Structure 1
Amino acid sequence: MLYFQLVIMAGTIMLAYYFEYTDTFTVHVQGFFCYDTSYTKPYLGPEESSAVPPILLYAVVAGLPTLLITITETVLFLVQYTSKEFDRSEKIVATGDCCYLNPLVRRTFRFLGVYAFGLFTVDIFVNAGQVVTGNLAPYFLTVCKPNYTALGCQQALRYISHQEACTGNQDDVLRARKTFPSKEAALSIYAALYLAMYVTCTVQAKGTRLAKPVMSLGFMCLAFLTGLNRVAEYRNHWSDVIAGFIIGMAIATFLVVCVVHNFKGKLLLNEDSPAESQPNTAMLNMGHLDSPLEKYIASQVGERFTRQVWQN
C-alpha cells in the first residue's frame, strides 16, 4: 500500500507541475466587449509587487503547517510517553510496509503527507478551472491594449473574440486570462482551515479553551485578508475569490474528516491491520444463559426426537 500511495503522490505532483510550469494545457480564449469597464481597472504590476507576493504565500502555506504540526506532535508524544497511562508497546518502533518508523515520525508524516497531497490537489483544481474558463482579470484591457479603431469598436457593444486583438505583453495578457478561481484564496483558506481543524481536534490540554479558537480564527482571518487583498489590488474579482475559498475549504474538510478522521485514533504498530483486534475465541465458545421458555422448548424437542428414535 505504501508504494501505491507514493505513486499517487508522484502523479499528483507531476500533474500540478504540468499545469503550473508548462503550456501543455491551452488556456481558453474568452472574448470581451469594447470599452467594458469591468476589465479596465489599473494594473499594479506583476505578482511580485503585491502586498502578498507568491513567494511569501507559498512559504507560509508550506512552512507554517510543517512547523506547527511537527512541534505539536513532538510535544504530545513526549507528554504521552512520560504519562503512566501510555501504552508501553507504543514505545517500540512501529512496523511499516518497508521500514521501521517511530510512532511520532509515522503520525507526523501521515498528517503532513495528507496536507501536502491536499495542497497539490488544490493547485490542480484551481489551474484546471483557470484553463477551462479563461476568465478575464479586472485589469485585462489595461494590459491587453487593444486597437479599438482597427477592431471596429465604434460601438461599445461590439464583441471581440479573437486572440490577436491584444497588442500588449503576451505574458501579462496570458496571466490576465487565468483568474477564476483565485489560487491565492484557495491555497490560503486550505492551509488555514486544515491547521484550525488540526489544532482544535488534537490539542486537548487544560487552559486551551480560548487559545485554540483564537489561534484558529487567526489563521482564518489571514486567509480572508489574502482574498481581500486580491480584490483590493484589482487582481481578482469577488467571484474568483469566493470560488477559491469554496475549493480550498471543501478539499480541507474532506481530507480532515474522511482521510485522517479528525486526527483521532490511537496509533497501531501496523496501520494496515484492522482497527480492532479479532474477538477472543474463548469468549465465543462460552455458552449463554437460556431463558425458561428456551429450556422448555429444547426439552420438548429433545423428547420428541427421542420418541421418534425409539419408534423407528
Structure 2
Amino acid sequence: MRQRRPGAARENLAGWLFVAPVVVILTLFMLAPILMAMWVSLTDWNGQGSPFRASVPFVGFDNYTRLFTEEGLARQDFMTSVRNNIYYVAIVVPAQTVLALGLALVVNNRLLRGRTFFRAAFFFPSVTSSVAISVVFLFVFANSGTLNGLLSLFGIDGPQWFADSRGVLHLLLGGVGLVDPDAPPEALTSGGPFGLSWWEWLSGPSVAMMTIIVLVVWTTSGTFMLMFLAALQDIPVTLEEAAMLDGAGRRGVFRHVTLPLLKPTLFLVLTLGLIATWQVFDQVYVMSQGNPAKTTLTPAFLSYREAFRGFEYGTGTAISFVLFFIIVVLTLLQRWVMRDRRS
C-alpha cells in the first residue's frame, strides 16, 4: 500500500488556500450567473423581483421550442438573426484571417523600411474603441458622407448604406440578369426551413451589413496580424533558406514550409475569429440597431433586445444559450477539420 509522504496533507491544504480566492471569485461572478441564467431560460420571468420566487412561471423548454418549432415572430426574428450571422461569419472570418496573414508577411519582411511604424499603424485600429470607430464609420458611410462624396466625383451615385436592406447576392444575380430581385422565382418564395423562404435564406448579407463587415475586418486584422507575426518570427530562417537551396521558390516555401508551421496559430486565429463573430454586438448596437428591415440583426443583439427592451428575459437567455451551443459545436467541428491526420 502506497504511504503518504510526510507533510503532503499540509501542502494540499496550503495549495487549496492559495487557489481558494480564485475559486470563490469564479463561482460568484461566473458560475453562479451562468446557473441563474440557465434557470431564467426555463421561466417566464419579466425582470421584476427575484427569478427564484414561487410566483415566477416555470415554462420548461418552451422558450427554446418557440425559437425553432412554433410559428410566430420569435422564431422569425431568431432565424433572421441566424441567417444574418451566418453570412457575417462566412465573410469576416476568412477575410480577416487572410488580411492578417498578408499584413504579417509584409511587416515581417527584413527588407521593409519602417517596419515598426507599419506594425503600429496596422495594429492601431484594434486598440481603438469599437464604439468610437463605429461612430466615425456612421459619418463616413452617411448618405452625404465622405464615401458617397468621393463616389460622386466619378459620377457614381452611392447607395444609402445604412438604409439599404437589399441582399448583395440578390443584387449580383440581378446585375447579371439571372433573376429579378423585385420578382423572385415562385419556387424560392413559396417555402423554406424555420419560417423563412429559400429566397430569404439565399439573400446574402445586406448592403448595411456589408458596411459593418468592412469595419470589423479592418479593426480586427491588426490583432491577428501580431499573432501571425510572432509565429513567423519563430520559424527558423535556416529552414526557409534550406528549402530555397533545394529548388523551392517563394510560393513553394510558403506553401510547404511556412503554412504547415503556422497551423497552430492559424487554428487559434480561426477559433478566436469564429467566437468573436458569433458574438458581434457593439457595432450592431451603435450603427444599426438591427435595421434596416432586420438585415443587421444578430443573435447577440436579439438576446439583448428581448431581455432588456422587451422584458422577455426567458427568451433572451434562451437565445444566449443556443448561441453558446452553436459556438461550441462549430469550434469542435473546426478542431476536427484542422486536426493533425498523421497521428
The answer, yes or no, to whether TM exceeds 0.5 is no
Q: Which structure has the larger Rg?
A: 1
Query: By percentage of residues, which structure has more helix?
Result: 2
- For normalisation by structure 1, the TM-score amounts to 0.31
Larger relative CO (CA 8 A, sep 6+): 1 or 2? 2
